[in-house]
Structure 1
């Protein structure tokens, strides 16, 4: 099952231009592949006066993690909000995103999850070239366990 930008927005708390992902290309129980073109938008809310720094790719990865988490939630237990708590092994392979002509491919693979947190390996690339890689930990708000 793939998702378009509207379906993604329904699953995330991000509104307007802060919803960065355009589509879910593929997903399974352990991983998700998303695509985005919003890095080219001059009105991207993460863009500064000197452009869109490649570190912004971390937010693209975090949104992919959130969509993946929502896809695993059951109807009886809606997905809970999560907060990026830690980033490890961060590797940035580019200076800016706004100069990249092609779409961004965002990959998030769940390494571990329990009732309180999730850990994902993230990789953001464009045309097969790596832009950012990291391991990210999300802490979930207390609530009913999905």
Structure 2
């Protein structure tokens, strides 16, 4: 399930993506005919995964990673599906090494911040 539409920009420290899937009535994360704001964590996690893949372009083979924790999560809205137009998902690498990265993420609709928080990501789950 790919929720993101485009990578708008990226660098070694940051990625910015957009998404339109929050308005899709067939979005697989919808429940009770709505897309709750907490599902934004999955949008951010996918941006982090794309960032990792872009950084590892020269690696021989992709590795399996996973989200280990989410901290400082602030939901400034109750739902995402009532936001018309694209969402902008930004993930910025705060610290990390070859095995673990701490990201800060924000999801905006226009200039309004809808969701923000931090997430830890293990990059090579097979080594644990």
Runs of 4+ in 1 over 2 A off after TM superposition: 74-79
Cα separation, partners in 2 of 1:76 and 1:83, compared to 1, 3 Å: closer
**Which of 88, 91, 94 lines up with 2:77 in the alignment?**
94
Number of equivalenced pairs: 126
**Higher relative contact order (CA closer than 8 Å, sequence separation 6+):** 2
TM-score by length of 1: 0.82
1:1-146 map, 5 Å: 18-140=1-123, 141-142=125-126
Deviation at 1:45, TM superposition (A): 0.4
Unaligned runs of 5+ in 2: none
Please, what is the CA RMSD of the aligned residues?
A: 1.2
Unaligned runs of 5+ in 1: 1-17
Indicate conservation of the 8 Å contact 1:86/1:137, yes or no: yes
